[in-house]
A and B are shown apart, each in its own frame.
Chain A
Amino acid sequence: MNDFSHLKRLSAVKTNAGVKLLTPAAGPGSHCPMHTALALSKQTAGLSTLVVGTPECATYGRMAVPQSRGKRGELHWLYVLDANEAVFGCREGLMKALEKMENAGAKAILLIVTCVPELIGEDMEGILHEIQPKLRAKLAFVLLAHFKCNSYPSGFWKTLLAFGELMEGQPKESRTVNVLANVKKEEDSDSDLPGLLRKEGFQLRFLTSGASLDDFLNASDAALNLVLSPYGQPLADRMERLFNIPYVSLHSLYQVEEIDGAFEKAEDVLRISIQENFQEERQKALCLQETSRDWLCGKRYILADIGQTLPIPLAVYLARFGMEPLLLHAEEFYPDDKGFAKALLEKGYDPPVCHMANPEADSQLISHLSANFCLGFLPYCPIPCLPELSGLLSGSGYRRTAGLLSTIRNIMAKEEEHHGTVPV
């Protein structure tokens, strides 16, 4: 097989279902969202979990959360459907299980619902609605069937959204900022926005892995949500809708002028100066941005695994330099991606979108594309590749933009050195 006709082009992709595997036999494949939901939940002090699914989900879920009791008394238990429940549902059994968990000390329980209960249409909302008045423990659920997506990101963003379900309105604290990042940073460098905010005396509350349940419950008091990870974007949208908390998103911004705009919005909300603290980084990014078109115009690339970073906004930015995306790997197609896709289409690019889940076969297929290089991680990649890009892209702001452009230019310079010219 050396054609890409089974893939949909970006203009035709509306949901995850439109993103097809690049090659048909996944190996080893991608993690299911239960994995990331558990990885996030086990770090949340005060939160107990109940995985609802098959023996596979329960057994392998123990690899993500090896202990059934957390350090602070959280319970991480498992509910396995039997043959009868796989047909008729598990309502009764689940309600008894939740009562048992409360009696064993659970203060808040997140039900992590996997493929089979979702397939049989178990009404989790109804079950929780019925049992909640009988329990003191707060209950929430998250539907994470793997057949509704290709990979793990929804395990993060849907779980964060489920935490949002537990929030209640709080009086505003004008000096508190929620940071929706990928990781919790105890110490920030002065060169990033959280570091600056801390220096300016703001209380930062990281709503991410490592935050406590109380952090989430109290989060509606913040003056601003600073969104540094796409996983946090749906929660920020929800908090703006329900609690009127404005947000500033940096995770999908590369263009210097767009970053300027985001910083201006944060300055308005927080009433501090931001941009002037990053002049050096800004100048460097601006300079690279203004001089890169000659280097980048006409180059064709494949966008492989770039971690949590959204591929389509990155492609939109690179399109401004005349770079042509030949193939985009999407870990997840987010609701907001439709807007970014429109922007890329307007720039004249409509690449096929795929999910790469078999590096060996995928690499062979990719060799049939006449790409100059591959951005992101792809083992066995037959063309020049930038596997370290996901680390760089997990940052934000001017520094990330400068890093991105200089890294791409470096790989092209190396190619030129090797072959005398960069293939176009």
Chain B
Amino acid sequence: MGLYQFKPPASGRMGTLWTLAPVRGASLLEYGCMGHMLYARTFLERAGIPINCRLHSTHLDETDIALGGADRLHAAVSEIILQDAPQVLFLLPSSVPEIIGTDLSALCSELQPKYPNTLLLPFGKGGFKSLSHQGVQDALMRLVKFLPRKTEKTSLPTFNIIGSCADLFRFQADAQEITRVMQGTFDMQPLCVLTSDTSVEKIREMGGAHINLVLRREGAPAAKQLQKQFGTPYLPGRPYGIRGTLQWIQSIAELLHILPDRRFLDSQKAESDRILGSALPMLRYRVRQSAEKMLLSVGGHADVVRGVLDYGCSELSLPRGTCWCDCPDMADGEISYLTEEQWTGAIQKQKGGLLMASGEALTFAGHGDTLQISNPDSRWRLNPYEPPFVGFRGALHLLDLWVNKSFQDQE
């Protein structure tokens, strides 16, 4: 890690907590100092995340650390089960017990027989080497590994969304657009939106879905697990742009051997064509006028960056600027990982253009946050009904942002 001016990469512990916090019907206990949980709760509220899971911490004092006893954990588990009567109690590690070597899984195994009506589910990725994406991946995986029950496919077609989690900017709006497109195109209803709109009960029913839509690479192991367990096919990827969304729909149709509703698709296409038809000539004129001012620079989660780039550069022919992802493990030949020093340097070097990145990066660049597509955020996000970035409506939203930014820059 080291020295940072902006928020550092989040830990695995944070990724786990942000993923689990929206799950209804569950309680969560962090084995650690309570200040972290208080901050995490405020962070989640600012990010507009419905905290449906009851969040608790044990707190720790010097005696707990010196003697290594787990009395606090035992007492807290007992209290939560008495007060909340949760179906599942998630147990999370924190930094201090990680250092003193607390074995949370062993403690859960020891306690489980005392509480037959509540599943005690311990989570890992507490160590200092784990980053947020590993916490998200681990949390998604454990939820689908331990909660779903054996079930038949639903009589009416349904789908699950995997990976709609609080660390992604505008995650709720994107999940809502995916749902709208699936309802319109295939008349399919969501069974479980993991985890931004779900409950223990819905996770238990996940095996009944006909397809799993995996919105981020961290969800792939969970989708594979569900395929193994229930034979459910899955489609990885985020649908960006008109062409990208149509291809994504085509992939679903092929995977499930079903036909999309032509009337819905035609209406979406006609609306997009009408809007693109009026805006594209202007956008292309701007590019011809000054390609430098129309450079599309994108920073954030690798899957988001790739999707926005595909739409902006491949579909709309915007010139590509500096692009980077925020996780070293996700870097590849096309999108590199940039450290704080590198992305601040790149932003300073490239003065103009369409910069889409985190709230912090945009503030640093002096751009305002209109083109924000990733976290860390610098604002409260209380409205879950902001426009999405994915799907047909996401494509129009992005187009609107780019056209207006190019006009602002001209002024």
Contact = CB atoms under 8 A, between A and B. Distances in A.
Q: Do A and B bind each other?
A: yes
Interface stretch (A30-38, A228-236, A304-312): A30-38
A27 B56 contact: yes
Contact of A56 (B6, B11, B65): B11
Contacts of A28: 34, 37-38, 41, 55
Given A25-B79, A77-B4, A86-B128, A54 B99 contact: no
10 contacts: A17-B62, A24-B72, A30-B34, A30-B38, A32-B38, A55-B14, A56-B13, A60-B39, A82-B1, A146-B33
Given A55-B9, A79-B2, A86-B128, A26 B34 contact: yes
Given A59-B7, A147-B64, A24 B75 contact: yes
A29 B9 contact: no
A119 interface: yes
Contacts of A183: none
A90 B65 CA distance: 21
A66 B43 CA distance: 12
Interface in A336-368: 357-358, 360-361
B2 A59 contact: no
Contact of A63 (B43, B82, B100): B43
B249 to A, nearest CB: 37
B212 interface: no
Contacts of A424: none
A150 B59 contact: yes
A219 interface: no
A21 B72 CA distance: 10
Interface of A: 1, 16-17, 21, 23-35, 54-56, 58-60, 62-63, 66, 68-69, 75, 77-83, 85-86, 93, 96-97, 100, 115-116, 119-120, 146-148, 150, 152, 357-358, 360-361
Contacts of A26: 34, 37, 56-59
B375 to A, nearest CB: 10
A32 B35 contact: yes
Given A27-B57, A29-B34, A63-B39, 16 more contacts: A23-B79, A24-B58, A25-B29, A26-B56, A27-B55, A31-B38, A34-B35, A55-B9, A60-B40, A78-B4, A80-B8, A81-B1, A81-B128, A83-B129, A100-B3, A116-B96
Contacts of B62: 17, 147-148
B35 A59 contact: no
A62 B99 contact: no
A361 B76 CA distance: 11
Interface in B35-52: 35-43, 46
B155 interface: no
User: Which of the listed residues B2, B10, B35, B127 has the most CB atoms from chain A within 10 Å of its own CB?
Assistant: B35
Interface string B1-31: 1111111111101100000000000000100
A55 B378 contact: no
B79 A54 contact: no
Interface of B: 1-11, 13-14, 29, 33-43, 46, 54-65, 72, 75-76, 78-80, 82-83, 94-96, 99-100, 127-129, 376, 378
Contacts of B9: 55
Query: Which of A55, A86, A361 lies at the interface centre, i.e. has the most chain B CB atoms within 10 A of its CB?
Result: A55
Contacts of A152: 35
A96 B3 CA distance: 9
**Shortest beta-carbon contacts, A-B, top 9:** A32-B35, A29-B34, A80-B1, A60-B39, A24-B75, A83-B128, A146-B33, A25-B56, A25-B76
Contacts of B79: 1, 23-25, 361
Contacts of B128: 54, 81-83, 86
A260 to B, nearest CB: 41
Contacts of B65: 119, 147
B34 A54 contact: no
A69 B83 CA distance: 44
Contacts of B14: 55-56, 59
A31 B62 CA distance: 18
B35 A30 contact: yes
A214 B272 CA distance: 61
A68 B5 CA distance: 6
Contact of A68 (B6, B40, B63): B6
A116 B37 CA distance: 16
Nearest to B364: A68
A63 B42 contact: yes
A96 B2 CA distance: 10
B325 to A, nearest CB: 18
Nearest to A15: B62
B43 A60 contact: yes
A116 B33 CA distance: 11
